[in-house]
Structure 1
């Protein structure tokens, strides 16, 4: 530990071998059934009904004039990392054991911390062994008291009855006896309150804290598609899984029918493994390819043409130009 808390602690070299191209996607299966008109309308009605600012009339009574199916690939790479930082911390001393002495503190990455569920964000804080000691509270000079924040240590505040004038209705104020001040209710006129740092204990335990952060670093690539739906809409849905691989470090996808996806996989895997290994320990990676169904639906409502989209396994709906919203939605 070198006698102090050093902030960011670089990870040790990886112990696992370089990944090999064992798992690769097979020829995609495009057998995703087309959405029926009834299914599209039901999804549209549910969408409109769930929005308090929408009338469901266009969804129920609009005339569907055309439906067109689109599919797009989504490649997703997830890299689960662990990073460690150290810093000095204090807490009120209430008689707990302290362990600072001749025994040196262990290096941050030598401290055992239980790894949580993979690909889930989490943060743990661990007191580093052999670093805790007791010292007087530096905030209150070991008195256990600090100036009252409400009255700035005076014990008095402006009288609320006479606004500090000392008089009410041309007579001396009864509340403050004409002084214009009354006792501070926060500190009961003492001018001091319990020290927030030591909580009145006068002493602090000082130790080095190890903060361990596990993070799932997720990145998506969505292949170009001509449906017109905004790509951001697709982040919240799932598709038909075509490929999944999970290991310490994954190998980029190659030989996929869409060369742009293979190129994106190669770039993303390279960047993840290079960038994250500098600042964290990589525990595991996984990548998937999904085929996301998209149906573009043209419909007419009151002689005007509109469009909505039904997408993903969840049959989510996007309708940016929904034609019947209430006044409050228009204003917003």
Structure 2
């Protein structure tokens, strides 16, 4: 499918409708709607029918929003190769293409060159924290960085 252009369409094969076809079409539409009464259609009288071509135009568009936020995860030695090169990174500097056009998508992507190694805020990079079940006498593995 080619985007941006539409084929030329000609309406020479349109069959003119008479009064009986219009009555049948209106009756079918009234049956679809629960609160419409068919008595109005029975009383309806057409003085003149005029055929007018009508185009149905559909505009499909999309919007895109980008934001940045910090995320923390456990890092094994040798897992992080590139250090942060800049402090401020613009998310619009990176090309991210949709997997399928005109569908709702949420994508989370790490921006290159923005990774940093910080100490664990839960255990202060010790790997353990004081156990509160035993009133602080023992230690337990840190669930955040281990």
TM range (shorter): 0.5 to 0.7
Alignment pair present for 1:86 and 2:33: no
How big is the alpha-carbon RMSD for the aligned residues of Structure 1 and Structure 2?
A: 3.9
- How far did residue 83 of structure 1 move? 0.9
Q: For residues 59-74 of structure 1, what are the structure 2 equivalents within 5 Å? A: 68-70=27-29
Are positions 1:126 and 2:112 aligned together?
Answer: no
User: Any gaps of 5 or more consecutive residues in structure 1?
Assistant: 1-22, 35-67, 156-189, 200-332
SS at match of 1:69: helix
For 1:116-155, what aligned pairs fall within 5 Å after superposition? 116-148=99-131, 152-154=132-134
Q: 5+ residue gaps in structure 2?
A: 1-7, 33-55
Please give the secondary structure, in 1, of the residue aligned with 2:126: coil
* Whole-Å separation in 2 of the counterparts to 1:134 and 1:113: 25
CA-to-aligned-CA distance 1:65-121 (integer Å, 9 cap, x gap)? xxx42179x986543221100011111011212423555665211112122211111
- Between Structure 1 and Structure 2, the one with more strand by share is 1
- 130 and 105 in structure 1: CA distance in 2 versus 1, 3 angstrom threshold: farther
Q: Kindly report which structure 2 residues correspond to 1:158-237, keeping only aligned pairs within 5 A, or say none.
A: 191-199=138-146
State the structure with bigger RCO (CA 8 A, min sep 6), 1 or 2.
1
For 1:101 and 1:80, how far apart are their aligned partners in 2?
32
Aligned residue pairs total 104
Conserved in 2, the CA contact under 8 Å of 1:105 and 1:130?
A: no
Q: Secondary structure at the match of 2:106?
A: strand
Q: Is the 8 A contact 1:153 1:192 kept in 2?
A: no
2:119, 2:125 within 8 Å by CA — same for their partners in 1?
A: yes
- 1:76–1:197: structure 2 CA closer, same or farther, 3 Å change rule? farther
**Contact 1:146 1:193 (C-alpha < 8 Å) held by counterparts:** yes
Query: Counterparts in 2 of 1:237-316, with a 5 A limit?
Result: none
Alignment check: 8 A CA contact 2:85 2:114 kept: no
- Counterpart secondary structure, 1:193: strand
**TM-score, length basis structure 1:** 0.26
Superposed displacement of residue 145, structure 1: 2.0
Q: What secondary structure, in the 3-state scheme, does the structure 2 residue paired with 1:81 have?
A: coil
What does the per-residue CA deviation read over 1:4-28, in whole Å, with 9 as the maximum and x for residues that have no partner? xxxxxxxxxxxxxxxxxxx9xx7x9
